[in-house]
Amino acid sequence: MTTFMSTMLTPPRTDASLPDMSTPRTRVPYQEAARQLLRDTVLDTTRELLAATPWNEITMADIARESGMSRQTLYKEFSSRQGLATAYLLRLVDAFLSGVRRQVETHENDARGAIESALAGFFAEGVLDPMVLNIVGDRPQHDLLSLVTTDGTPILDHATEELCRIFMDSWANLSRHDGEIFGATVVRLAISHLTLNVGNPDRVASDLADLFAPFLEQAVARSSGR
């Protein structure tokens, strides 16, 4: 028979399925979390629509309706179709860069291997995305192409900074100067090859790795001597 005292002396049950309340969690303000949910919903909806319909046939009204919100809310968040497309591509760039970071970590102290694997993954994943296919496909959408060329400053600058940071924070330990040179050049050449859709992706990745590896190796050597 269980007594009150025996119950009091029994250690509390540990259940791995229960959350660890002793670990502090970073609290995300409600408005910030709600806004991120809205943006993710819209961008996910845009991707679904692009899988079946060319970009030039998709309206903001279509996206708002399929996302379950008003056009006013959509325009308030993204301003325009170009603003929405830019947000989509920025999120896509972040996804690509997550893959790059994994490849750099996997190929520790292997400059050429890190570059080739990262670029091969970028080219392979890039041609699977419906927005990218609207840029490089049979009927390229020139308003989208401009977002990574003539009007590409937001996307190119973001990608350059993040790639620079990856190689500064990794085993390469690049200086800010070398990281910016490396990041800017790799980003622009990689996007150029992707949008022009030239050559075999694996061969292009290998050729670009041959081009960039000597610089990266020298930059790593300079950083180790700092």
- In this prediction, residue 8 carries a pLDDT of 45
CA distance 203 to 116: 9
- In this prediction, residue 139 carries a pLDDT of 76
23 vs 100, higher pLDDT:
100
139 vs 117, higher pLDDT:
117
Closest listed residue to residue 48, CA positions, set 77, 82, 88: 88
Fold of 81-224: Tetracycline Repressor; domain 2 (1.10.357)
Domain assignments of the chain as residue spans, ordered by start: 30-79, 81-224
User: Residue 15 burial (CB < 10 Å; 0-12/13-18/19+)?
Assistant: exposed
Lowest-confidence region among 114-128, 150-164, 169-183, 189-203: 189-203
Could you check whether 30-79 and 81-224 share the same CATH topology? no
| CATH (residue range 30-79) | 1.10.10.60
pLDDT in tens, 97-112: 999 999 999 999 999 9
Half-sphere exposure of 118 (CA within 13 A, CB side): 31
% pLDDT > 90, the chain: 76
Statement: residue 186 has pLDDT above 60: yes
Statement: residue 198 has pLDDT above 80: no
pLDDT in tens, 162-179: 999 999 999 999 999 999
